[in-house]
């Protein structure tokens, strides 16, 4: 009888947990909406960040710095030897060490599109995620508000997204992204400058600037 009771309790707990993940927490929604309102799709942004890449299985980590240029769905990211450009249609993934750039066209209907277009996470949180308010969280020496987001489409590469928001300024300070293969990415925003003038060429790979780079087309 006790064994049956324990199994029943575990089943009920799993059910409650699943239901909580499938709901949208109103306490989280107000913070997510505030962050979303801070970004205008018609304006340009330049973002400085530090990052930590942790392999949770191998218990290893790598740290570094990066930059993001962003306007609407378009963006450019530089992280160490990697440069990624997205002009709203084509995605250019460049490795300056191997001198290669892969060109692809992300499908907006696929879960991996969220990975390709960072602003989608901020602007389409209600459409693409279920979310939960966690509350006060101590991270990197700061007291921040933690919000957890779970992709509605679970077939994508990521299982969990966390946003950490400054309780005073309501600014987004940290994003954590957990890959299903056990990789945890932590992005710490050290500076966000808005109202930036960004030329369209910012978001496109320029072969003339990298004449020795091999262009590998993945577009059919």
Domain ranges of the chain: 28-217
Give me the CATH code for the 28-217 domain, please: 2.50.20.10
- Do residues 45 and 194 touch, judged by C-beta distance below 8 A? yes
- Look at phi and psi of residue 69 and say left if phi exceeds 0, alpha if psi is from -120 to 50, else beta: beta
- For the record, the structure tokens of 126 come out as 């209600």
- How far apart, in Å, do the first and last CA atoms of the chain sit? 61
pLDDT at 106: 83
Cut 0.75: pTM above it: yes
Q: Give the HSE-up count for residue 100: Cα atoms under 13 Å, Cβ half-sphere.
A: 5
Confidence of residue 122 (pLDDT cuts 50, 70, 90): confident
Q: Give the HSE-up count for residue 79: Cα atoms under 13 Å, Cβ half-sphere.
A: 17
pLDDT at position 197 over 90: yes
Closest by CA position to 162, among listed 139, 181, 182: 139
Tens-digit pLDDT profile for residues 134-186: 999 999 899 999 999 998 887 777 888 999 999 999 999 999 989 888 999 99
């Amino acid at each position: 009888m006790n064994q049956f009771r324990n199994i029943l309790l575990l089943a009920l707990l799993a059910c409650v947990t699943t239901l909580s993940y499938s709901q949208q927490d109103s306490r989280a929604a107000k913070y997510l909406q505030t962050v979303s309102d801070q970004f205008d799709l018609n304006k340009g942004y330049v973002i400085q960040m530090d990052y930590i890449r942790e392999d949770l299985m191998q218990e290893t980590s790598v740290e570094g710095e990066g930059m993001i240029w962003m306007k609407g769905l378009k963006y450019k990211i530089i992280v160490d030897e990697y440069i990624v450009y997205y002009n709203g249609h084509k995605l250019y993934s460049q490795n300056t060490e191997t001198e290669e750039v892969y060109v692809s066209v992300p499908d907006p209907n696929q879960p991996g599109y969220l990975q390709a277009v960072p602003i989608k996470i901020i602007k389409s949180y209600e459409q693409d995620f279920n979310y939960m308010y966690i509350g006060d969280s101590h991270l990197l020496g700061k007291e921040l508000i933690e919000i957890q987001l779970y992709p509605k489409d679970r077939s994508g590469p990521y299982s969990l997204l966390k946003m950490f928001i400054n309780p005073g300024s309501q600014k987004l300070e940290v994003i954590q992204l957990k890959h299903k293969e056990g990789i945890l990415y932590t992005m710490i925003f050290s500076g966000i400058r808005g109202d930036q003038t960004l030329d369209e060429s910012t978001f496109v790979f320029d072969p003339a600037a990298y004449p020795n780079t091999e262009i590998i087309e993945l577009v059919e």
